[in-house]
Amino acid sequence: MPVGRVIEIASDGCRLARDHGSMTVTRPGAEASRVPLDDIGVLLCNARDVTYSNGLMVELARRGVAAVFCGENYLPVAWLWPVEGHHIQALRMRQQLDASLPLQKRLWQSVVREKVLRQKAALEALQRPSDGFDELARKVRSGDPDNVEAQAARKYWPLLFGKAFRRERHGAWPNPALNYGYTVLRAAVARAVVSAGLHPSVGIHHSNRGDSFCLADDLMEPYRPLVDYEAARLTTEGHTELKPETKRALAEILAMDMETDEGTTPLQTCMERTALSLAQAYETGVPSLKFPRGAKHTLAGEDAEQDALHGL
């Protein structure tokens, strides 16, 4: 699946429709702009008064586009999920549902360990203290019964944003930047999950009844530090609100080049490989997940940070 663009609809009064192979965006008193449907990876709708044609929604679903509809503070309230995602979708979902508890615990161990190591890499890329994270990663056991994930978070956030920072969904800056970045990331992971033939509501660890994307929430955990890093970098540059350039930088994370065993690969493709490796783990019973090794360069292209960011 090719890496698609993140298209955000942030202006009220827009009308979205399909015209042959493109999505048209019409605003009152303005000519319609258009985007080729095959170029869209994520459609992020933040505006209130937006209308959509059924034909457009059908074509987006057929292409596996992650269409996300947000409420206040850029938090998603609904998703467009294609009914048909993969040619062996039924088989893979059956294997997913039949996965043993020991296998799920080992998979979650892998997810948490990877997340902690990427938190360390984010701190190093920003030249912040990162002592102790290697030890925390080694302490993660099957199922993370000691909740090392929470231990790492308590250590991580003050180092990243200062002791006064509190990670709150409706909190002050940089929480809005994190919300926005996580929304984009979650949509991309959900798209990868569906393309791998898995059901997004059946998680490895998350099991909230009201969450239809538990699996996306599980698999995005190791990628969150990429958003954290970018939010921290933007903050140091003086960003204090979600302006268009701020959103653009956060959305472009999906195109970040990552180092993998197969060579340099965009982050979106890396997440698809992670989802596919999970499907294979369900099939074989072997708890092996594939993650990228690190980022090839920073989003800002600053040479001084390249080596430190490699661990991301």
- The residue segments making up the domain with residue 34 are 5-80
In sequence order, the β-bridge partners of residue 76 are: 70
Place of tokens 């930047």: 177
Which residues have CB under 8 Å from 162's CB, separation 6+? none
Place of tokens 């959509």: 52
Q: What is the CA radius of gyration of the chain?
A: 19
Convert the pLDDT of each residue in 26-60 to its tens digit: 988 777 789 999 998 888 888 878 999 999 999 99
The mean of the pLDDT values for the chain is: 87
Domain-terminating residue out of 80, 97, 116: 80
SS3 assignment, position 171: coil
> Do 138 and 32 sit in the same domain of this protein?
no
> Do 97 and 210 sit in the same domain of this protein?
yes
- Cα–Cα distance measured from residue 278 to residue 99, given in angstroms and rounded to the nearest whole number: 11
> Do 60 and 22 sit in the same domain of this protein?
yes
Convert the pLDDT of each residue in 101-145 to its tens digit: 999 999 999 999 999 999 999 999 999 999 999 999 999 999 999
> Do 39 and 100 sit in the same domain of this protein?
no
- Cα–Cα distance measured from residue 13 to residue 48, given in angstroms and rounded to the nearest whole number: 8
Q: With bands split at pLDDT 50, 70 and 90, how would you rate the model's confidence at 1?
A: very low
> Do 263 and 124 sit in the same domain of this protein?
yes
> Do 34 and 179 sit in the same domain of this protein?
no
User: For 42, phi and psi rounded to 5 degrees?
Assistant: -135, 130
> Do 57 and 96 sit in the same domain of this protein?
no
Residue 225, domain CATH: 1.20.120.920
User: How many domains are there within the chain?
Assistant: 2
Which residues have CB under 8 Å from 244's CB, separation 6+? none
Distances from the Cα of 245 to the Cαs of 68, 174, 177, in angstroms?
20, 15, 12
> Do 50 and 184 sit in the same domain of this protein?
no
Quote the pLDDT of residue 210: 60
Domain-terminating residue out of 29, 59, 80: 80
> Do 59 and 163 sit in the same domain of this protein?
no
Sheet with 263-266, strands from edge to edge, namely 263-266, 257-260, 294-295
> Do 123 and 63 sit in the same domain of this protein?
no
Instruction: Tell me how crowded residue 168 is: count the other CB atoms within 10 A of its CB.
Output: 10
Convert the pLDDT of each residue in 233-263 to its tens digit: 999 999 999 999 999 999 999 989 999 888 8
> Do 298 and 194 sit in the same domain of this protein?
yes
Residue 172 has pLDDT above 90, yes or no: yes
Domain-terminating residue out of 29, 52, 80: 80
> Do 52 and 155 sit in the same domain of this protein?
no
Residue 60, domain CATH: 3.100.10.20
Convert the pLDDT of each residue in 278-310 to its tens digit: 999 999 999 999 999 866 533 333 333 433 343
